[in-house]
Amino acid sequence: MLTRIAQTDIIEQIGRDLTNKTIHENNATWIHNQLGLFKYQQGQYEGVIILYEKSLEILLESFPSKHPDMVSSYSNIGLIYFEMNDFSTARIAYEQILQIQRQSLLLNNRSALAASYNNFGLVYHRTGDYSAAHLFFKYALQI
């Protein structure tokens, strides 16, 4: 509700207070992701990256780096770097997702795998590598 009335300072203070008082890592990652979403809506991409990377750091304290729970964090990070036109860093995040999908049962989730290939296609398209983009879009459509 606060995001609708754009109370930036209040939202950030509540987020900091909740993060400092949160013991369970799932709650802390959720809070960081929600604050990141708010900053994303405000166009504050540098702040978003800090929050999303902190969320990933918290997850890495509890899970192995290739755990399926990491996918949403890498996806969020990849999206922001894509929006910032930092395509090489976005591609690294998307590569992490694909590695996790290959090593887990997420390969059975065809729509998630198609989304991963589509993200690669978008990165290659934006960097002007249209043949690679075409290949990844084709992979996505074949799934």
- Say whether pLDDT at 91 is over 70: yes
- Which two three-digit tokens encode residue 28? 């802390």
- Say whether pLDDT at 83 is over 50: yes
Summarize the confidence of residues 99-103 as an average pLDDT: 88
> How far is 52 from 73, CA to CA, in rounded Å?
7
Residue 59 contacts residue 25 (beta carbons within 8 Å):
yes
CA-wise closest residue to 133 among 119, 114, 143 = 119
Summarize the confidence of residues 81-101 as an average pLDDT: 95
Query: Taking the model in full, what pTM does it have?
Result: 0.80
Query: What integer pLDDT is reported at residue 30 of this predicted model?
Result: 84
Query: What integer pLDDT is reported at residue 140 of this predicted model?
Result: 95
Percent of the chain with pLDDT over 70: 80
> How far is 80 from 128, CA to CA, in rounded Å?
19
| pLDDT band with cut points at 50, 70 and 90 for residue 5 | very low
Q: What does the pLDDT look like over 6-29, one tens digit per residue?
A: 555 555 655 555 555 545 555 788
- Say whether pLDDT at 121 is over 90: yes
| pLDDT band with cut points at 50, 70 and 90 for residue 109 | confident
Query: What integer pLDDT is reported at residue 3 of this predicted model?
Result: 46
